[in-house]
Amino acid sequence: MGCEHAQAAGGQTSPQQFEENTLSEVRRVIAVLSGKGGVGKSFVTGALAVELARRGNSVGILDADITGPSIPKMVGMSGRRASGLGKLLLPEVSAGGIKVMSSNLLLENETDPVLWRGPVIAGAIKQFWSDTSWGPLDYLLVDMPPGTGDVALTVFQSLPVDGIVVVTSPQDLVSMIVAKAVNMADKMNVPILGVIENMSYVTCPDCGKKIEIFGQSKLEAVAENYGVKVLGRLPIDPALAAACDAGQIETALPAGLLPDALAACEAIEPHDEPGAFSSPAPDAAAADQA
Ligand SMILES: Nc1ncnc2c1ncn2[C@@H]1O[C@H](COP(=O)(O)OP(=O)(O)OP(=O)(O)O)[C@@H](O)[C@H]1O
Ligand SMILES: [Mg+2]
Ligand SMILES: [Zn+2]
């Protein structure tokens, strides 16, 4: 069951909501969504996770892109396998302390094609929430699969998502992407924290000028039209993309890339559930007094 914050944020007390286990104490859940593929959701998820972790937060990433997982590679976990703790899975931990659970960490062979059907995908997402021992986390970021289809619905129906970060790129029909995300957020009763435009411009290597190669951004107008905040614009940065490819996002990410997005994440009221870590077991309390 969700706590009162989850209910206030999402009203998600539907019977299909997945249960959190006693070894997880997740204070905020943020989904990174886009109406379409390849705009940089995973990159934005990784960047937010790194910046939140650098500020001393405990951070996890639930890779909900079951059929196209890209988080483990970005944080240098290629080839690693998640371990188990009884019936629970343990997330892998990156060099920078970010916990990750992904289908990529469960497959025998990373290059195996994943031919999972809908129910199996939903089952995997349930496993990543209910059967994964996240421990205490200030932030759990959910890297969504492309689009606003069934898998996205499963995530919003099943996890206590507190807010959505929408990612667009300037070549997109930005208005359509934002409209889709706003519709989904309304239907699921989850607030949109705002929208980030990725690959928004290039910075001239000589003079540092921002060049909007796709023409002037329409983002501000669209965002205003839908009543959502603009949380930042990221340049096309081939060196950074190469670093992500090489598993180096934690060291390569420049500081202070997304200040407004960070502020929006930090403004979320944390769930304060009494969990395994905040309330000592009765035996332990008795032992203390003895
Ligand atoms: N700002 C950027 N500058 C340069 N390359 C980028 C940028 N953002 C993302 N990329 C690159 O573009 C590709 C797609 O990005 P990413 O995987 O984050 O998109 P996605 O929306 O998660 O895609 P999918 O829908 O397939 O999950 C990656 O190779 C990534 O490294
Ligand atoms: Mg992705
Ligand atoms: Zn120049």
Domain containing 217 — which CATH number?
Answer: 3.40.50.300
- Give the range of the structural domain holding residue 245, as residue numbers without chain letter: 21-266
- Stretch (H or E) spanning 269: none
Residue 272 included in any domain: no
Whole-angstrom distance, CA of residue 98 vs CA of residue 137: 10
Whole-angstrom distance, CA of residue 128 vs CA of residue 64: 8
Strand 192-197 vs strand 163-168: parallel, antiparallel, or unpaired? Answer: parallel
Structure confidence at residue 18 (pLDDT):
81
* CB-ligand 1 contact for 65 (6 Å cutoff): yes
Residue 275 included in any domain: no
Whole-angstrom distance, CA of residue 59 vs CA of residue 97: 8
- Stretch (H or E) spanning 164: strand 163-168
Q: Work out how many domains the chain is built from and give that number.
A: 1
Atom of ligand 1 nearest to the CA of 198: 1
pLDDT tens track of the chain, all 290 residues?
334 444 444 444 444 678 888 888 999 999 999 878 889 999 999 999 999 999 999 999 999 999 899 999 999 999 899 888 888 999 999 999 999 999 999 876 666 666 677 788 888 999 999 999 999 999 999 999 988 888 899 999 999 999 999 999 887 677 888 888 899 999 999 999 999 999 999 998 899 899 988 878 888 888 999 999 999 999 999 999 999 999 999 999 999 999 999 999 999 999 876 543 433 344 444 444 43
Residue 127 included in any domain: yes
Total residues found in the chain within this entry: 290
Residue minimizing CA distance to atom 19 of ligand 1: 40
* CB-ligand 1 contact for 68 (6 Å cutoff): yes
Name the DSSP letter for residue 132: B
* CB-ligand 1 contact for 146 (6 Å cutoff): yes
Structure confidence at residue 131 (pLDDT):
93
Instruction: Output the CA 39–ligand 1 centroid distance in Å.
Output: 6
* CB-ligand 1 contact for 154 (6 Å cutoff): no
Atom of ligand 1 nearest to the CA of 36: 25
Residue 285 included in any domain: no
Atom of ligand 1 nearest to the CA of 244: 31
Instruction: Output the CA 121–ligand 2 centroid distance in Å.
Output: 16
Atom of ligand 1 nearest to the CA of 38: 23
Residue 25 included in any domain: yes
Is residue 256 a known part of a binding site? no
Cα angle value 103/147/169 (rounded, 5°):
110
Pick the ligand that lies closest to the CA of residue 43: 1
* CB-ligand 1 contact for 254 (6 Å cutoff): no
Give 148's Cβ-side CA count (13 Å radius). 19
Structure confidence at residue 227 (pLDDT):
93
Instruction: Output the CA 29–ligand 1 centroid distance in Å.
Output: 22
Residue 125 included in any domain: yes
Residue 143 included in any domain: yes
Residue listed under structure tokens 């990159």: 43
Residue 15 included in any domain: no
Structure confidence at residue 172 (pLDDT):
64
Phi/psi for 120 (5° steps) reads: -70, -40
* CB-ligand 1 contact for 70 (6 Å cutoff): yes
Is residue 40 a known part of a binding site? yes
Pick the ligand that lies closest to the CA of residue 211: 3
